[in-house]
Amino acid sequence: MSEPPRHNLPAEPNRFVGRERDVDDLCGLLGETRVVTLCGVGGIGKTRLALRVAARLVPSYPGGVWLVELARLTRGELILQEIGRAVGIHEEGTRPLLDTVAARLRDTPALLLLDNCEHLVDQCAEVAAELVAACRGLGILATSREPLRIASELVWRVPPLDLPDERHPEAESVQLFVDRATAAGTKLSPASLDDVVRLCRALDGLPLALELAAARTSLLSPGQIVDRIDGRFSLLTTGGRTAPPRQRTLLAAVEWSYDLLSAKEQVLLRRLSVFAGSFDLELAEQICADRPISEAEIVDLLGALVDKSLVLCDEERRRYRLLETIKHYAAERLAEAAEREVLRDRHLEVLCELQLRHFGTEMVEPDLPWPVRLAALEASRSLVDDQRAALDWAIESGNAPLGLRLCAYSTSLLPVSSANPAEIVGWVERLLALDLTQVPDEQIAHAQAYLAYGLEGRDELARSLEYATVSLAGLGADNVFPSCVMHSLSVVVLLRMGRGDEALHHAETGLALAIASGDQWNQAAALAGLSAVALTRGRLREAQCHGEEALAKARQHGHRWLLARTATQLGAVAEARGDLVKAMAQYELAVPWLEELNGTIELARCLARIGRVAALLHEFEVARERLAASLKLSRLTGQRQSVARCLVSLSVLAEAEGDLESSVLAAASATALRESMGQHSATIRIEELLTRARAKLGEGRTATLWSRGRTMSPDDAARQVLAGERPVPAGPVVTEPVRHSLLTAREQEIAALLTRGLSNRAIAEELVISPATVARHIANIMEKLGYTSRAQIAVWAAEQPRGSA
Partner 1 sequence: MVDSGTGLCLTEGQLDERSAAATVQLRRRGVRAGDTVLICLTVGPDLLVATDAVIAAGGIVWPVPAELDEGRLRDRIMASRARLMISDLPRAMNAARESWVRMVVSVAELHSYPVSRERRTESDPTGRRTKGDCEGV
Whole-number Å distance between alpha carbons of 220 and 256: 13
**C-alpha distances out from residue 628 to 1, 90, 435, 702, Å:** 11, 19, 51, 26
Strand partners for 154: 36
Q: Tell me the closest approach of the beta carbon of residue 788 to partner 1, in angstroms.
A: 4
Applying CB under 8 A, among 9, 23, 98, 155 the residue interacting with partner 1 is 155
| 25 near partner 1, judged by CB under 8 A | yes
What's 474-532 look like in SS3?
HCCCCCHHHHHHHHHHHHHHHHHCCCHHHHHHHHHHHHHHHHHHCCHHHHHHHHHHHHH
Whole-number Å distance between alpha carbons of 218 and 216: 5
Q: Tell me the closest approach of the beta carbon of residue 747 to partner 1, in angstroms.
A: 13
What's the angle, vertex CA 493, arms to CA 488 and CA 495, rounded to 5? 95
Enumerate residues 6+ apart whose C-beta is below 8 A from 558.
368, 369, 370, 373
Strand partners for 112: 66, 140
Applying CB under 8 A, among 4, 10, 62, 159 the residue interacting with partner 1 is 159
Closest to 38 in 3D by CA, of 105, 117, 109: 117
Burial status of residue 803 (CB atoms within 10 A of its CB: 0-12, 13-18, 19 or more) = exposed
| 22 near partner 1, judged by CB under 8 A | yes
Question: Taking the CA of residue 504 as centre, how many other CA atoms within 13 Å lie in the half-sphere pointing to its CB?
Answer: 11
Helical H runs in 298-440? 298-307, 324-336, 340-359, 370-382, 384-396, 400-408, 423-432
**What do you get for the CA distance between the two ends of the chain, in Å?**
51
Applying CB under 8 A, among 77, 783, 798, 799 the residue interacting with partner 1 is 783
Q: Tell me the closest approach of the beta carbon of residue 238 to partner 1, in angstroms.
A: 21
The phi, psi pair for 348, rounded to 5°, reads -65, -45
Piece of 86-94, 156-164, 255-263, 441-449 that binds partner 1 (CB under 8 A): 156-164
DSSP at 295: G
- Of residues 241 and 291, the one with the C-beta less far from partner 1: 241
| 245 near partner 1, judged by CB under 8 A | yes
| 204 and 246 Cβ atoms separated by less than 8 Å | yes
* Chain centre distance of CA 156: 25
Applying CB under 8 A, among 372, 776, 798, 799 the residue interacting with partner 1 is 776
Q: Tell me the closest approach of the beta carbon of residue 112 to partner 1, in angstroms.
A: 14
| 28 near partner 1, judged by CB under 8 A | yes
| 29 near partner 1, judged by CB under 8 A | yes
Residues 700 to 739: which contact partner 1 by CB under 8 A? 735-736, 738-739
| 152 near partner 1, judged by CB under 8 A | yes
| 786 near partner 1, judged by CB under 8 A | yes
Applying CB under 8 A, among 68, 140, 158, 614 the residue interacting with partner 1 is 158
Applying CB under 8 A, among 98, 154, 220, 545 the residue interacting with partner 1 is 154
The phi, psi pair for 312, rounded to 5°, reads -100, 155
| 696 near partner 1, judged by CB under 8 A | no
Residues 33 to 62: which contact partner 1 by CB under 8 A? 33-34
| 375 near partner 1, judged by CB under 8 A | no
Whole-number Å distance between alpha carbons of 721 and 669: 12
- Of residues 157 and 696, the one with the C-beta less far from partner 1: 157
Q: Tell me the closest approach of the beta carbon of residue 116 to partner 1, in angstroms.
A: 20
| 246 near partner 1, judged by CB under 8 A | yes
Residues 539 to 598: which contact partner 1 by CB under 8 A? none
Site size toward partner 1 (CB under 8 A) is 47
| 166 near partner 1, judged by CB under 8 A | no
Piece of 6-14, 79-87, 536-544, 775-783 that binds partner 1 (CB under 8 A): 775-783
Closest to 546 in 3D by CA, of 507, 575, 489, 515: 507
Applying CB under 8 A, among 169, 772, 798, 799 the residue interacting with partner 1 is 772
| 437 near partner 1, judged by CB under 8 A | no
| 647 and 608 Cβ atoms separated by less than 8 Å | no
Q: Tell me the closest approach of the beta carbon of residue 525 to partner 1, in angstroms.
A: 50
Piece of 154-162, 220-228, 261-269, 368-376 that binds partner 1 (CB under 8 A): 154-162
| 241 near partner 1, judged by CB under 8 A | no
Residues 302 to 331: which contact partner 1 by CB under 8 A? none
Q: How many residues does the chain have?
A: 805
| 778 near partner 1, judged by CB under 8 A | yes
Q: Tell me the closest approach of the beta carbon of residue 741 to partner 1, in angstroms.
A: 11
Whole-number Å distance between alpha carbons of 304 and 11: 23
| Residues at the site binding partner 1, with contacts judged by CB under 8 A | 22, 24-25, 28-29, 31-34, 109, 136-137, 139, 151-152, 154-159, 162, 244-246, 735-736, 738-739, 757, 759-761, 772, 775-776, 778-779, 782-783, 786-792
